[in-house]
Amino acid sequence: MSFPARLIAGYRSFRDSRLPQEQARYRELAERGQSPEIMVIGCCDSRVSPELIFDAGPGELFVVRNVANLVPPYSPDGRHHGVSAALEFGVGVLKVKHIVVLGHAQCGGVRAFADSPGAHSSGDFIGNWMSLMGPAAERVGPRAGRPHAEYLEQLEKASIGNSLANLLTFPRLRAMVERGDLTLHGAYFGVATGKLTVRNPATGRFEDV
């Protein structure tokens, strides 16, 4: 069998240790369905797993992950929008109370954009996807004169703000925010330090928690 041995070993460990502790919860979730109150929009990066960072159990987080944790603006054009479909389900059906855009340090997607903004990748998708970062890059301003790592961090954080702004372009979501039924948040995870900071919506700054 070519199924990865690492996954089989990991599953067996889960089955023998964690599952017995959480079996009742899984059964209950299967019967009454999921009702997570928090949706997380995170990066695909293997170092930034929302369930690990927030120590979440089954049924607690509704998670969508994509390259560089980006949210495209509302565009009902009949194309295939994975993030928008997840938002429609999370907000419209599950009625989550919070959406967290979780960015992180050393984001490969952000670095690729910073190294060649506006350029299209050799493949068919990443360059176009990363062009969503354009407004964030404009807000950060020219890169010249700044240490590279500092510029990347500013870009990563500005991009979180841009994704939060794009969330508000979804009419139903915006209406829920205005009614106070839904709150939007930004957070940033330092991969090397393991430190999480949370975006202050008034200042746009990321603060310790």
The residues of the shown chain that bind Zn ion, judged by CB under 5 A, are: 43, 45, 107
Residue 60 or 156 with smaller CB distance to Zn ion: 156
CB of 48 to Zn ion, least distance (A): 7
Which residues, including other chains, have CB under 8 Å from residue 140's CB and lie 6 or more apart? Answer: 151, 154, 155, 158
Residue 96 or 105 with smaller CB distance to Zn ion: 105
Residue 38 or 107 with smaller CB distance to Zn ion: 107
As a whole number of angstroms, the distance between CA 50 and CA 47 comes to 10
- Maximum CA extent, the chain: 58
For residue 27, give the H/E element and its range: helix 19-32
Beta bridge partners of 65: 42
CB of 130 to Zn ion, least distance (A): 11
Task: Look at residue 45 and give its three-state secondary structure.
Answer: coil
CB of 104 to Zn ion, least distance (A): 6
Residue 111 or 146 with smaller CB distance to Zn ion: 111
Q: Which amino acid is at 12?
A: R
CB of 183 to Zn ion, least distance (A): 23
Please report, for residues 17, 54, 76, 87, 146, the alpha-carbon distance to residue 152 in angstroms, rounded to integers and kept in the order given. Answer: 40, 24, 31, 27, 10
Find out whether 68 and 109 touch, Cβ atoms under 8 Å. yes
Across the beta sheet with 38-43, the strand order is 61-66, 38-43, 98-104, 183-189, 196-199, 206-208
Residue 173 or 188 with smaller CB distance to Zn ion: 188
CB of 61 to Zn ion, least distance (A): 18
